Structure 1
Amino acid sequence: MRKKGFIVSFIAVLILLSACNQETTTKIKLAEVTRSIFYAPQYVALEKGFFEEEGLEVDLQTTWGGDTTMTALLSDGADIALVGSETSMYVYAQDSKDYAINFAQLTQTDGTFLVAKEADEDFSWEDIKDSTFLGQRVGGMPQMVGEYVLKENGIDPHGDLNLEQNIDFANIAGAFASGDYDYVQLFEPTASVFEAEGQGHIVASFGEESGVVPYTVFMTKQSFMEEEDDAIEAFTRAIYKAQQWVDEHSAEEIADVVAPYFEETDIEMLASSIDRYKSQGSFATDPNLDEKEWNNLQEIMEKSGELPENVPYEDLVNTDYAERVMSE
């Protein structure tokens, strides 16, 4: 009888421990602006169990576009959003009472490449004058950085090009492949896939041309940050672990980990895309978003005519979480 009683007690303890573990797990709804190898550290955090180590259960959804991603965040369809930090400025300028705060940076350069329909081994920016250029959504980071780079190279996007911006973000690649366009901005791995299939040729990198900016950032509403302070810190810690892991491992190793998120892309193509981003420093190695990057972003937005107003760094950026996890 004593043995039976011991077994019953042991089982009860296991059930109690299981219940405690469930109670300490925080569920996070995470919305990403698009599915891209550009966000490799995020997928590493998911696949390597870094979120689980921090007591988080993260549900990832792809919301396709800055507007829809921010709508999901503001309407509580998402707790945290991975999106361009310019979207937080747009919301702030509308005098929102519960605006979004940037707390952890994931990428620190533009992630697009200039893809030409025809091969051009001796490409120069002058070559795109009078061409038909399939641009990105007005007000989005790719479009603003694209126009900034063109202007820095002496090209007037609206005067020197036949610039078309009437295609939804998710359909840009397909439109370029089937349409009569000379140039387009594409993320990886799409740019490399197009090159491999002979549908386009990478001739320049917007990331290399534009410098360091807080291109893609994790943000959340003020109210959620106040209510779930511990969860935001845990989330930031998991991202930092992933950033360090990506920095310390090869493109091939990273590709093996994130491959489940890109089932239709060849593993070697993924590795090539990751290597391209690593070589130009696109992946931030820590989550801290510094003021110099923020000011560079506002300059890019201002030159593209999309900056609604100058937004103080301290109003929309919280580096407390990044600084704490980096100091541990």
Structure 2
Amino acid sequence: MRLHSCLKLTSFMVGAAVWGSVATAQDLEQVTVVVPNPSAILYMPIAVAMGEGYFEEEGLDVEVEAVNGSGAVLQALVSGQGDIGNPGAGPFLQARNRDVPVKFIYRLNPNSSYGIVVPEDSDYQSPEDLRGLTIGVGTADGAEAAFARTIFSEAGMQEGEDYEILVVGDGGQATAGFLREDIDAYVAATNDAAILNGRGMPVRNITPAEFRVYFGNGLAAMESWLEENEETVLAFGRALVRGAEFAAQPDNIEAVIDHAAAQNPQEGEDRDFARNLVEQIVIRQTPFEPERGWGYQDLDAWQAWQDSLVSSGELDEPIEDLEAVYTNEYIDPWNEAVQQ
């Protein structure tokens, strides 16, 4: 029984060729992907692979279902109501710490969800350049404020002495904060940066590289499902990587928006904002080391996440074998689809 959410997104399905032969709906194998947010732009490689027919060419009928948050994504995987999920690293590691046999298979967002941004034409190049200045945040106790304090602390700067934090609200309100010169920098989530750029306030991300390793959501599946569906996993990943490669090409941005809108019509209503958001998501989803391929994961990034969660008390203790929570075994065969 597949889950029925009010946020359910209808899959885009057409008759297509499966490696040269015509496939009907009955021939296609169904795969359900569960996401924590209804925005199709956030999972655009999947939306593109659906819209461009890449999944059909692999013999798959992919359906996307939206639920409320990463916890619900993991619950759907555990209950068998979803095959592949899109959880965040924090909730995922908490589940692994409770011995939930789920495995991360693809790092969809290598870059952090947050970043310290400054006006594009400013001279600021690093957090140290913001000494004595004011940093805007959306909320006083949100994750973005903690993210900023950690970065400035690492730079030897103390709030109230070396910099000030000012609550100005989300991206739209941050635009006004910049224009009034109330703030000199802003701690932005991906959509905030898109809003700022779209409202005539182009910004640059000056977050130090070591803090960008706190990667965003990726793809995960139950270990048992991976073992029982190896060919399906390989087929899904080949189409996924083709979708990622297509979405990364600037000339394809209008088609990317169309494919996202096919899954979530609201995302086609304001195409200017959609363009800005797609551009930001492409940055967020571009691999740090392209030569390793789309989706590659490294132990250092996982270690950084675990250390942060243990330090904050969100994990009671470190996971004994951190390398067991993820796998790169599919990365090479998946990426061969775009290397030929």
Q: Give 1 or 2 for the bigger CA radius of gyration.
A: 1
Q: What SS does the aligned partner of 2:62 have?
A: strand
Residue identity opposite 1:269 in structure 2: N
RMSD of aligned Cα (Å): 4.4
**8 A contact 1:51–1:58 mirrored in 2:** yes
**8 A contact 2:287–2:295 mirrored in 1:** no
Give how far 1:56 is off: 1.6
Quote the Cα distance in structure 1 between the aligned partners of 2:302 and 2:204: 28
| Structure 2 counterpart of 1:297 | 305
Quote the Cα distance in structure 2 between the aligned partners of 1:158 and 1:316: 40
Runs of 5+ in structure 2 lacking a partner? 1-20, 261-266
- Given the alignment of the two structures, is residue 35 of structure 1 paired with residue 39 of structure 2, yes or no? yes
| Structure 2 counterpart of 1:11 | none
| Structure 1 counterpart of 2:251 | 252
- Of 75, 100, 103, which aligns to 1:71? 75
Q: What SS does the aligned partner of 2:296 have?
A: coil
Matches within 5 A, 1:1-328: 22-33=26-37, 35=39, 37=41, 39-93=43-97, 95-96=98-99, 98-114=100-116, 121-123=122-124, 125=127, 126-127=130-131, 133-134=137-138, 146-155=148-157, 185-197=187-199, 202=203, 204-206=205-207, 208=209, 210-212=211-213, 214-246=215-247, 250-253=249-252, 255-260=253-258, 261=260, 262-263=267-268, 264-266=270-272, 268-270=275-277, 272-273=279-280, 276-277=283-284, 281=288, 285-302=293-310, 306-311=314-319, 312-326=321-335
**8 A contact 1:102–1:219 mirrored in 2:** yes
Quote the Cα distance in structure 1 between the aligned partners of 2:210 and 2:40: 20
Q: Deviations over 1:173-221 (max 9, x none)?
A: 5786899x967543335423234326x6635344745244553310012
Q: What SS does the aligned partner of 2:56 have?
A: helix
Instruction: Pick closer, same or farther for the CA change 1:319–1:274 going to 2, 3 Å.
Output: closer
Residue identity opposite 2:298 in structure 1: D
Residue identity opposite 2:216 in structure 1: Y
Aligned length: 298
**8 A contact 2:70–2:88 mirrored in 1:** yes
Residue identity opposite 1:31 in structure 2: V
Q: What SS does the aligned partner of 1:58 have?
A: strand
Q: Report which of the two has the higher share of helix.
A: 1
TM-score between both structures, scaled by the size of structure 2: 0.66
| Structure 2 counterpart of 1:167 | none
Q: Deviations over 1:226-257 (max 9, x none)?
A: 3433322222222222334445xx3232x122
Runs of 5+ in structure 1 lacking a partner? 1-16, 165-170
**8 A contact 2:172–2:196 mirrored in 1:** no
Q: Deviations over 1:23-73 (max 9, x none)?
A: 442232332446374544333222222222222211223335333333343
Quote the Cα distance in structure 1 between the aligned partners of 2:278 and 2:23: 41
**8 A contact 2:293–2:332 mirrored in 1:** no
Residue identity opposite 2:271 in structure 1: T
Instruction: Pick closer, same or farther for the CA change 1:151–1:79 going to 2, 3 Å.
Output: farther
More displaced stretch, 55-64 vs 19-28:
19-28
Quote the Cα distance in structure 2 between the aligned partners of 1:175 and 1:282: 35
Quote the Cα distance in structure 2 between the aligned partners of 1:231 and 1:49: 16
Quote the Cα distance in structure 1 between the aligned partners of 2:101 and 2:46: 23
Residue identity opposite 1:242 in structure 2: G
